[in-house]
Chains A and B, each alone.
Chain A
């Protein structure tokens, strides 16, 4: 058991923290208020290697490990959760499946620009009728010679309005149910693809979320990711990694809640003394800090297992479940410590609360994480 960060991990932590505090944090309130996509931050993150942290350098990434990825994600999310999810989707949901399942040509053509941050990726799995039940895909891909014809609608796709490429899931053999799902790499410029309405959300406002409509989109067979029928396996593997990213995002939000509440509580005087002198406040701070540390250890453990190519489904789900719910609790306490000031937009506490909520929902709801964890334990 070694709990110390490596030299490289400390380095990226410092680099990400500096960037997040100097460049991202000052913009976070404005990004939240306007819902503007932070093009300039995404470009800067690309230059820093943050858009493909755990992707090898030969494929355009930073060539670091997944613990580094988790560390960088936490720092960006500490400053702005919306910017962090743009990064997480590109790293975990676009780059990672192409690295693991893509051909050499696919990697050169798509992974290199994605991981280097020159292009942006999205992940098309969710549909209006397929949320937690991801296997019930209605989008179809029908083979015609050396291409597939894709039709259907995807829902709640993060980065959809800005993405250049999409890792898309379709049904190629309905009879086989989830074993009939096939994945493709889609160029968003192809004819027949429409970006639907941009969702108005409770939080993570600066990240683009939209539906994607596919009408007779011709996809070359060379863009198939893996074999026909591999799609569900690819999606589940990808989400195992994605959950590490979301756990880290939740950690960053929780830490923001704690650090902001701590600063406010030291400053704010009631009954003639700083409110942090009261045990009622101290208890909340102590619980936030303890749960954040627990969440971080669960997250690093999952990332470390992924780096060793060991099984990590259960551990990723534990990290995601615990970190997201801890972030929610921390953000509620953060507002409470600020009192009335926590309810108004002059302070970031209410933003943390709105941003935290999504982490319990996307990339597998808390309910799906509990299913993954309990089935691993009961079947063992």
Chain B
């Protein structure tokens, strides 16, 4: 048991906190209001090596490890949540290509991802395959030296910004359904990007549908072996869930800090509202739950870092952190009262931004299925 960061982790925390607070936070309201992709933030993240944190330097990465990565996600989320989701998916895609890709695939894509030449996309979800991810209908049929892809993907983060998207498609239906993963580049004939979704929160992040209409993808672009796609997807999401946990924690910590500052300052009945137990209780509960969430998330990250199984722990972290994050943001809006409901303060944005964390990369319901399954083993 050691509940402290290493010196290197402390340095990363300080560096990223200062970037997020001094650069990202002041831009966040405009990025949200204009639904503008945070290009300048992405550039800064790339310059600091924060887009390739989960693969080694020989491919342009910084290989900082899951715990440092968690710290970075938390801090960036505290500045601008729309920025962190693009960053997180890019890191996740880079890690998957490193883990499952050939040396050629790594060389081709990883330096570009790390340098921010394009984002990474992860194409699993479809209009009719959300929680039931195995039900995807996109097909990939071998034809000569290519696979021909047909189908569509929904809610794909970074979809129109990606220099490479991992696309899951069915390569065999009988006797047993098999899914394979493909590395798809923009501009391929038959590959098109749909309209951006109008979202409740994370409005600066890029979320689109993708369509494949007889799109030919070279065979060497298969990631992993034929039929390995679903395993790659699930394994990638285990790590992704740790990222979403830290994202929810970072957003909620920003909301709580705002609420505490406001409560100290705001006077009603001739004293700061922080003097009232009604307000103190909300602050105490939010802080306790966020500390618990962080410990769950760091535990999952530490297990991942040491190469141990972490599926159950990642699901626990994800369901707990996303739900605690939502509760904390609700409380923050409540503490700010009418002001919390306006765009003059950031807490209504935090509430909109944090909401999706109970939904994407596995809903709370899917996390509970995973946890219960592990308990019942």
A336 at the interface (CB under 8 A from B): no
Q: Which of A282, A289, A298, A378 contacts B260 (CB 8 A)?
A: A378
A34 at the interface (CB under 8 A from B): no
Contact B316 A298 (CB under 8 A): no
Contact A6 B1 (CB under 8 A): yes
A244 at the interface (CB under 8 A from B): no
Give every chain B residue within 8 A of A1 (Cβ-Cβ).
Answer: 2-5, 67, 298-299, 301-302
Indicate whether A3 sits within 8 Å of B303 (C-beta atoms), given known contacts A266-B376, A297-B295, A322-B292: yes
Residue interface mask A269-295, B partner, CB < 8 A = 1: 000000010010011011101110111
A374 at the interface (CB under 8 A from B): yes
B219 at the interface (CB under 8 A from A): no
B251 at the interface (CB under 8 A from A): no
Distance A9 CA – B316 CA, assembled complex (angstroms): 24
Give every chain A residue within 8 A of B33 (Cβ-Cβ).
Answer: none
B234 at the interface (CB under 8 A from A): no
Q: Which of B264, B303, B316 contacts A289 (CB 8 A)?
A: B316
Distance A289 CA – B293 CA, assembled complex (angstroms): 14
B352 at the interface (CB under 8 A from A): no
Indicate whether A285 sits within 8 Å of B372 (C-beta atoms), given known contacts A290-B320, A377-B287: yes
Q: Which of B67, B299, B368 contacts A286 (CB 8 A)?
A: B368
| CB-based nearest A residue for B300 | A3
A237 at the interface (CB under 8 A from B): no
Indicate whether A3 sits within 8 Å of B280 (C-beta atoms), given known contacts A282-B372, A304-B1: no
Q: Which of A262, A285, A322, A375 contacts B288 (CB 8 A)?
A: A322
Distance A103 CA – B299 CA, assembled complex (angstroms): 41
Residue interface mask B279-295, A partner, CB < 8 A = 1: 01101110111011101
B225 at the interface (CB under 8 A from A): no
| CB-based nearest B residue for A287 | B368
Distance A377 CA – B264 CA, assembled complex (angstroms): 11
Indicate whether A294 sits within 8 Å of B293 (C-beta atoms), given known contacts A305-B3, A321-B284, A374-B284: yes
Which positions 287-344 of chain B face chain A at CB distance < 8 Å? 287-289, 291-293, 295-296, 298-299, 301-303, 313, 316, 319-320
- Chain A interface size band reads 35 or more
Contact A4 B1 (CB under 8 A): yes
Give every chain B residue within 8 A of A294 (Cβ-Cβ).
Answer: 292-293, 295-296, 316, 320
Contact A373 B368 (CB under 8 A): no
Distance A290 CA – B322 CA, assembled complex (angstroms): 13
| CB-based nearest A residue for B320 | A290
Distance A6 CA – B367 CA, assembled complex (angstroms): 30
Contact B371 A289 (CB under 8 A): yes
Give every chain B residue within 8 A of A3 (Cβ-Cβ).
Answer: 1, 298-299, 302-303
| CB-based nearest B residue for A283 | B368
B375 at the interface (CB under 8 A from A): yes
Contact B3 A378 (CB under 8 A): no
Indicate whether A378 sits within 8 Å of B283 (C-beta atoms), given known contacts A6-B1, A322-B292: yes
Indicate whether A290 sits within 8 Å of B1 (C-beta atoms), given known contacts A1-B302, A318-B288, A378-B280: no
A355 to chain B minimum Cβ distance, whole angstroms, is: 22
Give every chain A residue within 8 A of B296 (Cβ-Cβ).
Answer: 290, 293-294, 297
Q: Which of B263, B264, B292, B376 contacts A297 (CB 8 A)?
A: B292
Residue interface mask A354-380, B partner, CB < 8 A = 1: 000000000000010111011101100
A344 at the interface (CB under 8 A from B): no
A243 to chain B minimum Cβ distance, whole angstroms, is: 13
B222 at the interface (CB under 8 A from A): no
Contact B372 A283 (CB under 8 A): yes
B274 at the interface (CB under 8 A from A): yes
B369 at the interface (CB under 8 A from A): yes
A1 to chain B minimum Cβ distance, whole angstroms, is: 5
Contact A295 B284 (CB under 8 A): no
Q: Which of B277, B288, B299, B313 contacts A373 (CB 8 A)?
A: B288
Give every chain B residue within 8 A of A286 (Cβ-Cβ).
Answer: 319, 367-369, 371-372, 375
Contact B299 A297 (CB under 8 A): yes
B70 to chain A minimum Cβ distance, whole angstroms, is: 9
- Residue from B260, B319, B371 whose CB has the most chain A CB atoms within 10 Å: B371
| CB-based nearest B residue for A374 | B280
Distance A283 CA – B367 CA, assembled complex (angstroms): 10
Q: Which of B67, B281, B316, B369 contacts A282 (CB 8 A)?
A: B369
Q: Which of B67, B287, B292 contacts A295 (CB 8 A)?
A: B292
Give every chain A residue within 8 A of B281 (Cβ-Cβ).
Answer: 370, 374
Distance A5 CA – B2 CA, assembled complex (angstroms): 9
Give every chain A residue within 8 A of B67 (Cβ-Cβ).
Answer: 1
Q: Which of B2, B316, B319, B375 contacts A2 (CB 8 A)?
A: B2
| CB-based nearest B residue for A369 | B284
Give every chain A residue within 8 A of B287 (Cβ-Cβ).
Answer: 318, 373-374, 377
Which positions 105-152 of chain B face chain A at CB distance < 8 Å? none
Distance A3 CA – B303 CA, assembled complex (angstroms): 8
Give every chain A residue within 8 A of B285 (Cβ-Cβ).
Answer: 370
A300 at the interface (CB under 8 A from B): yes
A301 at the interface (CB under 8 A from B): yes
- Residue from B293, B296, B319, B368 whose CB has the most chain A CB atoms within 10 Å: B368
B284 to chain A minimum Cβ distance, whole angstroms, is: 4
Give every chain B residue within 8 A of A370 (Cβ-Cβ).
Answer: 277, 280-281, 284-285
B311 to chain A minimum Cβ distance, whole angstroms, is: 13
A67 at the interface (CB under 8 A from B): yes
Distance A285 CA – B374 CA, assembled complex (angstroms): 11
Distance A286 CA – B323 CA, assembled complex (angstroms): 14
Contact B1 A298 (CB under 8 A): no
Distance A294 CA – B303 CA, assembled complex (angstroms): 16
| CB-based nearest B residue for A258 | B375
Distance A282 CA – B288 CA, assembled complex (angstroms): 25
Contact B371 A298 (CB under 8 A): no
Distance A262 CA – B373 CA, assembled complex (angstroms): 12
Q: Which 4 A-B pairs have the closest CB atoms?
A: A282-B372, A297-B295, A374-B280, A294-B292
Query: Could you list which residues of chain A lie within 8 angstroms of chain B, going by C-beta atoms?
Result: 1-6, 9, 67, 262, 266, 276, 279, 282-283, 285-287, 289-291, 293-295, 297-298, 300-301, 304-305, 315, 318, 321-322, 367, 369-371, 373-375, 377-378
Can you list 17 residue pairs at the A/B interface with Cβ under 8 Å? A1-B299, A3-B298, A279-B368, A290-B320, A293-B313, A294-B295, A295-B292, A297-B299, A300-B1, A301-B295, A304-B1, A318-B292, A321-B288, A370-B281, A371-B277, A374-B287, A378-B280
Interface contacts beyond A286-B368, A298-B295, A377-B284: sample of 11 additional A-B pairs, CB < 8 Å, sorted by A? A1-B301, A3-B303, A294-B295, A304-B1, A318-B287, A318-B292, A371-B284, A373-B287, A373-B288, A377-B283, A378-B280
